[in-house]
Structure 1
Amino acid sequence: MSQRVSRRGLFGLGAAGAAVVGAGVVASNTLFEEPPVAHASSTSDPFPFYGEHQSGIVTPAQDRLHFVAFDVITKNRAELVELLQEWTAAAARLTQGKEAGSYGAVGGAPEAPPDDTGEALGLPASGLTLTIGFGASLFDERFGLADKRPAALADLPKFPGEQLIPEISGGDICVQACAHDPQVAVHAIRNLARIGFGKVSVRWSQLGFGRTSSTSRSQATPRNLMGFKDGTNNLKLEDADLLRDQLWASAQDGSDWMAGGSYMVTRKIRMAIETWDRTSLVEQEQIFGRDKGEGAPLGKKAEFDPVDFAAKGADGQPYIKADAHVRLAHPTANGNAHLLRRGYNFVDGSDGLGRLDAGLFFIAYQRDPRKQFVPVQMNLAKKDALNEYIKHVSSGLFACPPGVRDAGDYWGRTLFG
């Protein structure tokens, strides 16, 4: 089996990078044995693929997203396991800046389809992470998994005001690709779909740009398409105690195979951009409960000043109203529930009526959606002043297994093995 120089090799590698290239194909147990690190040194560099937890969760959020949900069309359990093994091998290569298959885009037999689609040739790893999750629909009679469905993977309730479109909701398996280059993210999803031909089909997908949350204290807080800083009080990778309590599933939760994993909720939230843009600044700030410029809680001066819900203005009224988004989403209003958010802005053209089809593709990880996302979202759906300007049109819930330990492991081994 031939060995090929990685995409990153085309940009020049230091000694450490050259060692990775020389280590061989993905079957080698030594290919990615560097100790895990929280940060890539630049936006071009790779993140480790192997580890206790999947990358792409607490990894510092990248700038671009390609998210896909698949339906499994094979009814053969062995074929599904084989696909997960093939996907894992490809993901291990792709996240390190290599091509999807060992022969790459041009190294195989000319008479055969290439091992890689080729549109990322010459591009660096760009911080690519790939994160897999399993939807509740996978745990049916097809693969003998019904008794392994975690209690925390319970169907989400119907929330007031949501207008979900079934065709862009749910799915048996999801893959989240995040990178600093959109072509790298799209290339990764395209190649996984190519490898899965005949075993899975794409149910729906979503492109995202401009992360709307920071997942590390090293990152500045980004803005959503309403112009406000988003996710100021998000869980961060530095919050070790909170991550253990609120993010990572444990064997004590009732599903041994999910220990070290997490539960992902996705929601596509369409924004009434044009209506919002005609709303006064003071009303916009009252709806969010923060000032638009600095991101400070109303009544405070700096973004990270503690929110004081009891503080009142000169008129004797609370600075932060009862229906303000920040009040209703705060852990103190939801039984101390925290979420780790990794959302992205989206603009999917226009709706044909002169309005942008735009908004937020919300992604949140947690230990148990029943205790975290569900109460937070129910609180918001019932009372949030922001509801006048948004509607939820897509929903997904996925169990994301623990990380891949080494080259002999694969996505979902704890479930299928």
Structure 2
Amino acid sequence: MAEQAPAPGSRDGISRRGILGLFGAGAAGAVVGAAGGAGTAVAVTGAFGGPEASAAYDFHGTHQAGITTPAQDRLHFAAFDVSDSLDRAGLVGLLADWTDAAARLTQGLEVEEGGAVGGSDHAPPADTGEALGLPAAGLTITFGFGPTLFEDAAGVDRFGIAARRPPALQALPRFQGDALKAEWTGGDLCIQACADDPQVAVHAIRNLSRIAFGRASLRWSQLGFGRTSSTSTSQSTPRNLFGFKDGTANVKAEDGEALAEHVWVDAADEPAWLAGGSYLVARKIRMVIENWDRVQLGEQEQLVGRSKGEGAPLSGGTEFAEPDFEATGATGAPLMAATSHVRLAHAASNGGVRMLRRGYNFVDGNDQLGRLDAGLFFLSFQRSPEQFVTVQRSLASDGLNEYLKHVGSAIFAVPGGIRPGEHVGQPLFA
């Protein structure tokens, strides 16, 4: 596995800085309770259940890091469009350059030795330098390939890989309530950088974008804070921006059987080059915060299907009690409303479908009316995109939809892990 125990202490003279210690929040397939999964190797944990600032995850392994890795507190996600002038060799060269840089960055190193201050005074530095002196901070870098990398909007096979496109890698269908904006949708390539220091995550995307200059350009990017799910049993359950505990039902890193069934593409699946990989869905979901803040507590709990304090299902028990969807109250009405988020997102309502969720909160200032531009940057990994489609269609009658607006959407095939000496996605080009 790529997710290995951290290498504590100093590396190549880089100093260590204390972890920021911000405790996460979260949301779900629209906000609360959609299931997911997490990895098998756990970093040294800090006071808040996240990796210490000295954590360093190996970039190489069976699977890419940043999927089952214990969820870090910060995110910088970026989608890229490949230049129209780039050919197949140029694309492979970009992926190789990104791979080399990512392997160094995840260890707390510059993109190349002496990159920030060791070069010529008469040339731009190879590394932008804002992470000098900072530790790896649990940085993981995860790469994905969008449908348009294989065949662009005009149907052109720019890189000779259309025949190797995964059959399941298609643009997501339109869902009820979608209000998607082009500036937050799609992309040929994506990079997910997660860390416990926001400057480390931003440094990674900044330098990888710089390396891509002339070959690929940023289409859109998103900063996130506060993990929305626990991906390891070592982590406590966070709260989302609606104030509810989120991700209680997420599959944990230690549940290898669930990961094999619901997250990892199997060697028997099509195509074989994607074995050990997954499919990533990214959705930018704006929360109508001001309206939600005026909803009575009891109604909030009915909409979610959990108590706001303990996080227990309204059918009874504690946070981790299995919801009883047959339980009724004194009036004979179900304790878990038919339109509650927990009921609609639960595997029992979706033919056993589960996903690995590791999204983040965002606050992008305010809009022209003075309302918070805030919500959930939803990220899920699944063995097939159909898993996400199934759950999202089930959520069409979710009572929370009154307080949510889906404004961005993208899907990517995430290749399997990278061995030393290889580049990300190498089997695709073999």
TM-score, L = length of structure 1: 0.91
The equivalent residue for 1:9 is 13
1:110 to partner: Cα distance? 1.6
Pair 1:53 & 2:67 matched:
no
CA–CA distance in 2 between the matches of 1:8 and 1:343? 32
Q: Residue 13 of structure 2: SS of its match in structure 1?
A: helix
CA–CA distance in 1 between the matches of 2:228 and 2:41? 23
Q: Aligned-pair RMSD on alpha carbons?
A: 1.6
The equivalent residue for 1:131 is 142
Superposed CA deviations along residues 86-145 of structure 1, whole A, max 9, x for unmatched, are 110100000000001123200112212111000001111000000000000000110011
Amino acid at match of 2:95: L
After superposition, the Cα gap between the structure-2 partners of 1:317 and 1:8, relative to the gap in structure 1 and judged at 3 Å, is farther
Q: What are the equivalent positions in structure 2 for 1:193-232 lying under 5 Å apart?
A: 193-232=209-248
Q: Residue 127 of structure 2: SS of its match in structure 1?
A: coil
Of the three residues 378, 384, 388, the one matched with 2:393 is: 378
The equivalent residue for 1:343 is 359
Superposed CA deviations along residues 158-212 of structure 1, whole A, max 9, x for unmatched, are 1011000012101000000000000000000000000000000000000000111
Amino acid at match of 1:400: V
The equivalent residue for 1:22 is none
Q: Residue 51 of structure 1: SS of its match in structure 2?
A: coil
The equivalent residue for 2:412 is 398
Superposed CA deviations along residues 192-233 of structure 1, whole A, max 9, x for unmatched, are 000000000000000000111111111001111000111110
> Does structure 2 conserve the Cα–Cα contact (< 8 Å) formed by 1:65 and 1:176?
yes
Q: What are the equivalent positions in structure 2 for 1:15-414 lying under 5 Å apart?
A: 37-40=41-44, 42-44=51-53, 45-73=55-83, 74-140=85-151, 141-370=157-386, 372-380=387-395, 382-406=396-420, 408-414=421-427
CA–CA distance in 2 between the matches of 1:12 and 1:58? 25
> Does structure 1 conserve the Cα–Cα contact (< 8 Å) formed by 2:79 and 2:191?
yes
1:40 to partner: Cα distance? 4.1
Identical counterparts, % of pairs: 61
Amino acid at match of 1:344: Y
Superposed CA deviations along residues 376-409 of structure 1, whole A, max 9, x for unmatched, are 00110x2100000001000010000001111x11
Q: Which runs of 5+ in 1 are unaligned?
A: 1-5, 14-35
The equivalent residue for 2:48 is none
Range that drifts further, 91-100 or 293-302 = 293-302
1:82 to partner: Cα distance? 0.7
After superposition, the Cα gap between the structure-2 partners of 1:119 and 1:67, relative to the gap in structure 1 and judged at 3 Å, is same
Higher RCO (CA 8 Å, separation ≥ 6 residues): 2
Amino acid at match of 1:260: G
> Does structure 2 conserve the Cα–Cα contact (< 8 Å) formed by 1:232 and 1:304?
yes
After superposition, the Cα gap between the structure-2 partners of 1:237 and 1:225, relative to the gap in structure 1 and judged at 3 Å, is same
CA–CA distance in 2 between the matches of 1:374 and 1:195? 34
Superposed CA deviations along residues 273-307 of structure 1, whole A, max 9, x for unmatched, are 00000000000000000000111000313110111
CA–CA distance in 2 between the matches of 1:263 and 1:235? 16
The equivalent residue for 2:21 is none
> Does structure 2 conserve the Cα–Cα contact (< 8 Å) formed by 1:37 and 1:47?
no
CA–CA distance in 2 between the matches of 1:192 and 1:12? 23
Q: What is the count of residue pairs matched by the alignment?
A: 388
Range that drifts further, 241-250 or 307-316 = 307-316
CA–CA distance in 2 between the matches of 1:299 and 1:51? 42
1:79 to partner: Cα distance? 0.9
TM-score, L = length of structure 2: 0.88
CA–CA distance in 2 between the matches of 1:354 and 1:85? 44
CA–CA distance in 2 between the matches of 1:416 and 1:193? 22
CA–CA distance in 1 between the matches of 2:367 and 2:12? 39
Q: Which runs of 5+ in 2 are unaligned?
A: 1-9, 18-39, 46-50, 152-156
Q: Residue 251 of structure 1: SS of its match in structure 2?
A: coil
Range that drifts further, 201-210 or 306-315 = 306-315
CA–CA distance in 1 between the matches of 2:44 and 2:415? 23
Q: Residue 67 of structure 1: SS of its match in structure 2?
A: strand
Amino acid at match of 1:94: L
Superposed CA deviations along residues 31-81 of structure 1, whole A, max 9, x for unmatched, are xxxxx9432454212111110000000000000000000000043111111
> Does structure 2 conserve the Cα–Cα contact (< 8 Å) formed by 1:7 and 1:121?
no
Amino acid at match of 1:294: E
